[in-house]
């Protein structure tokens, strides 16, 4: 294959045709039962055709602008900058319709489902943010929507469950395993295998078998595409010195990093959830402590117990409470292109209150992990630091109230 062809097909992503990432091709791929292979091939073919079709891209961009409300602002956080001794800018994904970056991907995938003639969409969700985004775009496009959600999450994310229902989605409570996100993904993949013909799997992060991580990353890359033009216009520099994002599965980080991957002057920082602390063993610090494994159809990093089984993760943030990470993130971490930090529950919650009090912005508790990294890095006064504010914190008020009460 010529480089030109690969560039057209995969953009700037360091991925091969089988979905392996980086120069060592170590992470990624598609580890699925034979019958699912056909679905994935059909999906990849439709996807590469769609993104080469100006009509498809035109419709996607038009909806991003008029429905989602993009471009999202790049906001100079002057008081926060003073506090940390550098020049801090917030990429305001929290201002998107439905309150997070997830809609960027949900919209792209739903348009693809329509293009493929699928009538029925399934999705998994943990905190319910992706479930809400999926239910939203399905309502918009008249698609039937079923959301798989762990029973534990159904109980603790009631308002989002009600949102999904109001938007017309069926919510299926998954009782297997730990009854959280990991089990919801298993259930969605199993359902997709059973109903290959008419069903589209609208995945919520840059995880799973190829081509899912690549598709999700490409649809989220609008974040760094906007940053590329906003940074020279709104900051003293032509490119940022740092881009910082929290990492659950890695979709908002992938999108915020995408157009800077080849620019080695830009330090990329991924912040994962250290929960009660790495030493406590109760965390979701996949890249800091994880081992190579196959999880949800992809060779990647995951946290494991002594017996070598995937260990249930823990984080105060439901959106980061996942035992694995997408293959691009695993690859960037292992090659050293991305610096990996981990923030505890308390560090993240403290950072959330800090942003609320200095800038009048209540961040999602996931995004607060990225903000917590500001206290962990030695910045120079003229450093231009972009923090990807992946979502808003309305959904986390109970968590914030509990923290304030025990302080
Ligand atoms: C889901 C979610 C995340 C984590 O998912 P990624 O795929 O790692 O981006 C982060 N922030 C918010 C607001 C979320 O809803």
pLDDT tens digits along 353-385: 999 999 999 999 999 999 999 999 999 999 999
Task: Give nearest CA residue, ligand 1 atom 2.
Answer: 319
Average pLDDT over residues 9-13: 92
Number of helices (H) and strands (E), helices first, in the chain? 17, 14
In CATH terms, 19-65+102-217 corresponds, of 3.30.565.10, 3.30.950.10, 3.40.50.1100, 3.30.420.10, to 3.40.50.1100
Task: Give nearest CA residue, ligand 1 atom 14.
Answer: 319
pLDDT range class, residue 1, cuts 50, 70, 90: very low
Number of other CB atoms surrounding residue 33 within 10 Å: 10
Is the minimum distance from the CB of 102 to ligand 1 under 6 angstroms? Answer: yes
* Domains 19-65+102-217 and 71-99+221-406 equal at CATH topology level: yes
For 125-160, the pLDDT digits (tens) are: 998 999 999 999 999 999 999 999 999 889 888 899
β-pairing, 298-302 vs 291-295, is: antiparallel
Residue among 333, 210, 346, 357 nearest 269 (CA) = 333
Mean of the per-residue pLDDT values for the chain?
96
Domain 71-99+221-406 has CATH 3.40.50.1100: yes
Task: Tell me the CA–centroid distance for residue 317 and ligand 1, in Å.
Answer: 9
Number of other CB atoms surrounding residue 54 within 10 Å: 7
How far is 277 from 294, CA to CA, in rounded Å? Answer: 25
For 271-306, the pLDDT digits (tens) are: 999 999 999 999 999 999 999 999 999 999 999 998
Mutate to test the pocket of ligand 1, among 205, 222, 223 (most ligand atoms within 8 A of CB): 205
Judge whether 102 counts as a catalytic residue: yes
Average pLDDT over residues 234-244: 98
What is the three-class DSSP state of 13? coil
The atom of ligand 1 lying closest to the CA of 100 is: 13
Find out whether 249 and 124 touch, Cβ atoms under 8 Å: no
Q: So where are the chain's domains? A: 19-65+102-217, 71-99+221-406
Answer yes or no: is pLDDT of 108 > 50: yes
Instruction: Name residue 125's beta-bridge partners.
Output: 149
Answer yes or no: is pLDDT of 61 > 70: yes
Residue 196 confidence (pLDDT): 87
Global pTM value: 0.97
């Amino acid at each position: 294959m010529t480089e030109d062809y690969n560039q057209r097909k995969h953009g700037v992503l360091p991925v091969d045709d089988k979905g392996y990432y980086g120069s060592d091709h170590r992470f990624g791929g598609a580890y699925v039962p034979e019958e699912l292979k056909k679905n994935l091939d059909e999906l990849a073919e439709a996807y590469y055709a769609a993104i080469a079709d100006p009509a498809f891209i035109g419709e996607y961009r038009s909806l991003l602008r008029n429905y989602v409300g993009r471009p999202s602002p790049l906001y100079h956080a002057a008081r926060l900058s003073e506090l940390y001794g550098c020049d801090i800018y917030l990429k305001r994904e929290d201002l998107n319709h439905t309150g997070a970056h997830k809609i960027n991907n949900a919209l792209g995938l739903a348009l693809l489902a329509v293009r493929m003639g699928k009538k029925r969409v399934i999705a998994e969700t943990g905190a319910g943010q992706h479930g809400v985004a999926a239910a939203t775009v399905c309502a918009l496009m008249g698609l039937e929507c079923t959301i798989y959600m762990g029973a534990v999450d159904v109980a603790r994310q009631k308002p989002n469950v009600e949102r999904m229902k109001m938007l017309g989605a069926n919510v299926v409570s998954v009782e297997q395993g730990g009854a959280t996100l990991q089990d919801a993904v298993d259930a969605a993949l199993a359902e997709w295998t059973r109903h290959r013909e008419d069903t589209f799997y609208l995945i919520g992060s840059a995880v799973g078998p190829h081509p899912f991580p690549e598709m999700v990353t490409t649809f989220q890359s609008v974040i760094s595409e906007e940053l590329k033009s906003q940074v020279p216009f709104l900051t003293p520099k032509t490119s940022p010195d740092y881009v910082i994002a929290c990492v659950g599965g890695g979709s908002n980080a992938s999108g915020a990093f995408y157009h800077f991957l080849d620019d080695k002057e830009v330090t990329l920082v991924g912040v994962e959830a250290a929960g009660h602390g790495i030493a406590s063993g109760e965390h979701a610090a996949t890249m800091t402590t994880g081992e190579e494994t196959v999880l949800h159809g992809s060779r990647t990093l995951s946290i494991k117990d002594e017996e070598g089984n995937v260990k249930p993760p823990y984080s105060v943030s439901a959106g980061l409470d996942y035992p694995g990470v997408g293959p691009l993130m695993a690859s960037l971490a292992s090659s050293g292109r991305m610096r990996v930090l981990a923030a505890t529950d308390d560090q993240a919650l403290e950072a959330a209150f800090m942003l609320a009090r200095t800038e009048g912005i209540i961040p999602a508790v996931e995004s607060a992990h990225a903000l917590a990294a500001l206290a962990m890095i030695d910045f120079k006064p003229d450093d231009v630091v972009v923090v990807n504010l992946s979502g808003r914190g309305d959904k986390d008020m109970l968590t914030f109230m509990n923290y304030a009460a025990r302080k």
